[in-house]
Amino acid sequence: MVLKECTKKEEANSYELVVNVDGETFNKAINAVYKKQVKNINIHGFRKGKAPRQMIEKMYGSEVFYEDAMQDCYPEALYDAAKEANVKIVKVESLEAVEANKGGFTFKANIIVEPAMEINNYIGIEVTKKSTEVTDELVDEEIDKVRDRNSRMVTVEDRAAQNDDVAVIDFEGFVDGEAFEGGKAENYNLKLGSGNFIPGFEEQIIGHSADEEFSINVKFPDDYQAEELKGKNAEFKIKLHEIKAKELPEIDDDFVKDVSDKETLAEYKEELKETVAKRLADEAEKDIDDQIANKLMELLEGEIPDAMYDNQADEMVREFEMRLRSQGLDMNTYMQYMGMDANSLKGMYKEEAEKRVKLRLALETVAKKENIEVTSTDLDEEYSKMADAYKMEVEKVKTAVPAESLTEDIKVEKALKLIKDKAVIK
């Protein structure tokens, strides 16, 4: 395969490649297509699937397998041509065969490539480190979280319903005196203050007691999902059966023994101090990373093609779909349930996709400017880490993850470490 011509077009990051695929490669592809398709071809005098290639070409034309063979050649030919032209393809906008014969074929490809970027002043970035002081208030907050996880719901009989209670109710809704579909339920557990019902509904249950029957009046929002109820006034008849409130355990030594392997509250608080200290340190470290990332994105100069953002968003959607599948869920079912389509789902990732692309380009540019190299030892160490993480043999990881792409990832990690090591932390 030979790159015959590489022409930069007027549009930024856009090129036209003219590529020649040699006869040997093309004929191998033609033969592979023949072997794949011959089983479906009937020619008089030959058993089905046994007709020689020469006979099929004589009957249907010498170019009968050309189109499929060219399709099979395009990916590798484009990859080799881009490598020769020293560009990275982001998107293939069009492919057009120019000429083809037994001696090979030539095609034109209009492509979008990764941009050449510039970045300066990335050494000595100033960042502010978050406080990692472990206060008594933070320890108490941790204890409150544990109390909440170990709470239970108990029936309240000596007071009226209040915010954060769970009200067990029957309700039926009416618009213009007529009951409407979906407006009725029995023994429904409603967390007051949750905002799960239309505005005004939960607030009007507060103050009522168990066994009370009463009516409340509300107005459906103008953007309510049911068209026939948008902006309508409604009356709901309510029967309040039961009020349930969260009961938190007392903070004492018995509580500590139930939730930990410590014997006393004092010992438990010391353990929590260590837990909080580690969390604060992790959060502070991540915040420094975020500050550096934001600054690098600000410093990055160059025109980034939208195709890079689209590709990244598509990749994030694929990752999300894989997570859904691992949980036994189907993407189409999820989108129907959430009232989304493919475009709106992809749109959810647009902002994050742009950040990932910009940060990656910034770090790649730094790696190039700093002449960061990756050794065979670096690669072996990374492959070993991946093998341990995925419980796989190292050789299988090497087969799954090409050294070329892993090398680029390691360069980016080294660039980030270099910037972070030289950052000014206040």
208-to-19, 45, 203, 228, 364 alpha-carbon distances in Å: 79, 91, 10, 30, 63
| Average pLDDT for the chain | 93
Tens of pLDDT, residue by residue over 338-396, are: 778 899 999 999 999 999 999 999 999 999 999 999 999 999 999 999 999 989 999 99
- pLDDT at residue 223, as a whole number: 84
Q: What is the largest CA-CA distance in the chain?
A: 96
Q: Quick one: pLDDT at residue 259? A: 94
Q: List, for residues 303-323, the tens digit of each pLDDT value.
A: 999 999 999 999 999 999 999
Q: What would the pLDDT profile of 49-76 be if each residue is shown by its tens digit?
A: 788 888 888 888 889 999 999 999 999 9
Provide the pLDDT for residue 39. 86
Give kind and range of the element (H or E) at residue 113. strand 104-113
Q: Are strands 178-191 and 89-101 parallel, antiparallel or unpaired?
A: unpaired
The model's pTM is 0.77
Q: Which residue has the higher pLDDT, 112 or 48?
A: 112
Contact yes or no for 17/80 (Cβ under 8 A): no
d(C-alpha 407, C-alpha 405), whole Å = 5
Q: What is the pLDDT of residue 79?
A: 92
Confidence check: pLDDT of 426 > 60:
yes
CA distance linking residue 210 with residue 163, whole number of Å? 15
As given in the structure block, the two tokens for residue 283 are 């959060």
**pLDDT confidence of residue 1:** 57
Distance between CA atoms of 357 and 337, rounded to whole angstroms? Answer: 30
Say which residue, 340 or 398, is predicted with more confidence. 398
Quick one: tokens of 95?
Answer: 């492919």
Statement: residue 32 has pLDDT above 60: yes
